[in-house]
Amino acid sequence: MEDDAPVIYGLEFQARALTAQAAETDAIRFLVGTQSLKFDNQIHIIDFDDENNIINKNVLLHQAGEIWHIGASPADKAVLTTCYNKTSDSRVVSCAAVWRMPSDWETGSHESPDDSAHNPQTLELLCHLDDSAHINTACVLWEPMGDGKRVISLADNHALLWDLQESSTQATVSNTATLEGKGQLKFTSGKWSPHHNCSQLATANDTAIRGWDLRTMSQIYCIENAHGQLVRDLDFNPNRQYYLASCGDDCKVKFWDVRNVQEPVKTLEEHSHWWKTYFHFHINLPGNQHFSKSCFFKETFPLFYIVKFQSFPTAKLTCVLDIKHLILNFNT
């Protein structure tokens, strides 16, 4: 298959939240969350037709606030989580909620591409993931191999393990872990490990990376000063259970073996700013190294998030989100 030109989808508002729809097996689908202070925000549902290299879209309203993080249920393609900002008592707080897409949102999505944008439906609120004691939620993580019944929210200096019940309309905190230390420590990002029966979590706060055992909610390792500046993102190698990648504002991506965290296994310094990092499931480099790709700011073109799909043994789909464009590139 020859390389096709990238497909670019323009957004009405700026966006920094993107995820692949994990539970969708019949289509290549992305969810994008927008950020607008003046207008109702939106969830853009983007289907990529890799045979014709075109995009089909649907738009749903997210009236709760500007979206900073979005996550898709691994079990139910209609369910998602968002972390969003809203104003409360003259201050901005970061909240989290579980939502369901309307039952009929797919029925007319490909008949008239502009209809959903002009007359968007609204997401159905299933439940909030807010604890009155922890008001600022950085992200919500779904259990990687789960049935869509467990999520973790990182709020202030607490990791809250939630059980979702009654078709996700009720959420109860089943366990918590607390980040302790000097000053006002806050979680900034995290990743739920797909290994060890999904019993481990990695988190970032300031320049440190910490590992947690979810069975005891206790810390199992700590990488102090993992980066010279703020740690932006983390990801576990899906094929090798002890390997973790991190990126930070020090313009570096580092690879760690969590069994020995004294020094990184490898460090990359290729771009002016790294925003997100992740491992690709399907690419092996010589020497059994596994490929990792990250997002970065370069010149005036900020790339915030990349998601990859593997549709064929040698073909790759890369999805890049900048401020107001979604760029999809299918290549071999």
pLDDT tens-digit profile of 259-313? Answer: 999 999 988 775 444 445 544 433 333 334 443 444 333 333 333 344 444 433 4
Tokens of 104: 């009929």
Q: Which residues, 6 or more positions from 270, have their beta carbon under 8 angstroms from its beta carbon?
A: 253, 296
pLDDT category at 200 given cuts 50, 70, 90 is: very high
Q: What is the pLDDT of residue 56?
A: 86
Q: What is the pLDDT of residue 127?
A: 95
pTM score, whole prediction: 0.81
The type of residue at 293 is K
Question: What structural domains and CATH numbers belong to the chain?
Answer: 1-173+306-332 (no CATH), 188-298 (2.130.10.10)
**76 burial level (CB within 10 Å; 0-12, 13-18, 19+):** middle
Q: What is the pLDDT of residue 238?
A: 81
| Rounded-to-integer distance, Cα 203 and Cα 139, Å | 11
Q: Which residues, 6 or more positions from 83, have their beta carbon under 8 angstroms from its beta carbon?
A: 67, 68, 69, 70, 94, 95, 96, 137, 138, 139, 140
Residues 233 and 246 sit within 8 Å (Cβ to Cβ) = yes
- The residues pairing with 325 across neighbouring beta strands, listed in sequence order, are 10
**Read out DSSP for 64-80?**
T-EEEEEEE-SS-TTEE
Q: Is 116 helix (H, G, I), strand (E, B) or coil?
A: helix
Q: What is the pLDDT of residue 118?
A: 64
| Rounded-to-integer distance, Cα 54 and Cα 47, Å | 8
Tokens of 157: 């200096």
| Rounded-to-integer distance, Cα 99 and Cα 332, Å | 36
Q: What is the pLDDT of residue 290?
A: 41
Tokens 């309203």 — which residue? 61
pLDDT tens digits for range 91-143: 888 999 999 999 887 754 444 445 555 678 999 999 999 877 767 899 999 99
Question: What percentage of the chain's residues is helix, strand, coil (to nearest 5)?
Answer: 5, 60, 40
**Read out DSSP for 130-186?**
-BTTB--EEEEEE-TTS-S-EEEEEETTEEEEEEEETTTTEEEEEEEEE--SSS---
